[in-house]
Amino acid sequence: MRPKDILLEAFELGVPERVPAVIFGGGMWTIKNSGKDFLYYIGKPKEYAELIVKTADILQSDMVYPGSGYNNFLAAAIGGKIKVRHIGAPDLEGPIINSPEDLEALEIDKIYENEALQTIWKASEIVYNEIGDKYLVGTTSWGPFTKAGNLRGVEQLMRDIYKNKEFAKKVIEFAKDLIMAFYEPVVKDAGLEAVSIADPTASGDLISRRHFLEFALPPLKELIDEMKKRKIAVFLHICGDTSDKLREIAESKASCFSLDHKVDLGYAKSTLKSVICIAGNVDPVSVLNDGTPEYVEEVSNKCIHIAAEGGGYVLCPGCDIPPTVPLENIQAFIRAARKTKLR
């Protein structure tokens, strides 16, 4: 079976011939190991695509994520300013919605004029045409709640959900529409079969279960529903301990939910078995970044032992991998899955 077929079978809660394995994101790692920075590839979609394809063949992750690490450029395309780090993904310098008037003035269609986003869209198409027959290719974005925090400022959004609920919901709704507009070129024109959504600000470490259900989950479900109508697989990750809302997250109808390393994998498997495919959850720092290849393989095997039986499982880090993870550790992680036959 092709790697993407193995992964898609797990998404359908099936039992593939081996354990699927993906890194999550990997954009920071890819850019750092290219010897360049994120800004270098803007305006060079062919060169960026070649980097993604080359990295895919080295890492052998069953899913590939063009655009990973460029998530904040979507907000920059409608007025934000990018702050570049020496190592790591670019940030926004600050919020762009400071009042209702600021929100009203924003124009989503401006994103189609942005060179960074044009680079991602074109590179995604090239990557899909090059290796989409082998790997599942999915462009990445923040989720609606996280994107709203991008636009409004996370601290201000946290205040809004207590003191200015209706405005918070308007910002989140706008963020959802912005993300949908970003995905449109890759799912409609480039023909990609998957997208990846990361919603770290919706973490249980930042908002309560009640606020998650009121503010974060409804727009996330709407976004995923729109993708599923188009037969697009959705790989969803939410950071932090989500143990108290696993069943509600499953209601999002994502194809696969990626667990943070803080979530007990056995509990998640028992709670979500036959409900939604789960991915996880090797610690990306203490294990993948800091461990030896032998330790990485040992921990990966433990995750497989806990969650792979019965299918509907993907071996995955508990979050995006740091740019400093040794290549041999990623290879040990992938090897643990590839050698484990399920049927």
pLDDT tens for residues 240-265? 999 999 999 999 999 999 999 999 99
Q: What is the pLDDT of residue 85?
A: 81
Classify residue 188 as exposed, middle or buried by CB count within 10 Å of its CB (0-12, 13-18, 19+): exposed
CA distance 210 to 180: 25
Q: What's the CA gap between 139 and 64, in Å, rounded?
A: 8
Six token digits for residue 262: 């803080």
**Residues in the chain, total:** 343
Condensed to tens digits (0 to 9), the pLDDT of residues 86-109 reads 788 999 999 999 999 999 999 999
Reported as a single tens digit per residue, the pLDDT across 261-301 is 999 999 999 999 999 999 999 999 999 999 999 999 999 99
Rounded to a whole number of angstroms, the distance between the first and last alpha carbons of the chain is 12
What local confidence, expressed as pLDDT, does residue 183 receive? 97
pLDDT recorded at residue 88? 83
The stretch 153-178 carries a mean pLDDT of 98
Q: Looking at the predicted structure, is the pLDDT value of residue 211 above 90?
A: yes
67 touches 27 (CB < 8 A): yes
Q: Is the pLDDT of residue 155 over 90?
A: yes
Domains in the chain with CATH codes: 3-339 (3.20.20.210)
Position 176 scores a pLDDT of 98
Q: Which of 112, 78, 111, 108 is nearest to 95 (CA)?
A: 78
pLDDT of residue 87: 80
pLDDT in tens, 306-319: 999 999 999 999 99
Q: Helix (H, G, I), strand (E, B), or coil: what is residue 219? A: helix
Please give the helix or strand (H or E) that residue 236 lies within, else none.
strand 233-238
Q: Which pLDDT band holds residue 206 (cuts at 50, 70, 90)?
A: very high
| 3-class secondary structure, 308 | coil
Which pLDDT does position 237 carry in this prediction? 98
Q: For the chain, give me the number of helices (H) and strands (E)?
A: 15, 9
Q: Hey, what are 70's tokens?
A: 């460029």
CA 104 to chain centre: 28
What does pTM read for this prediction?
Answer: 0.96
Q: Is the model's pLDDT at 9 over the cut of 80?
A: yes
pLDDT at site 86 = 77
Grade residue 118 by pLDDT with cuts at 50, 70 and 90: very high
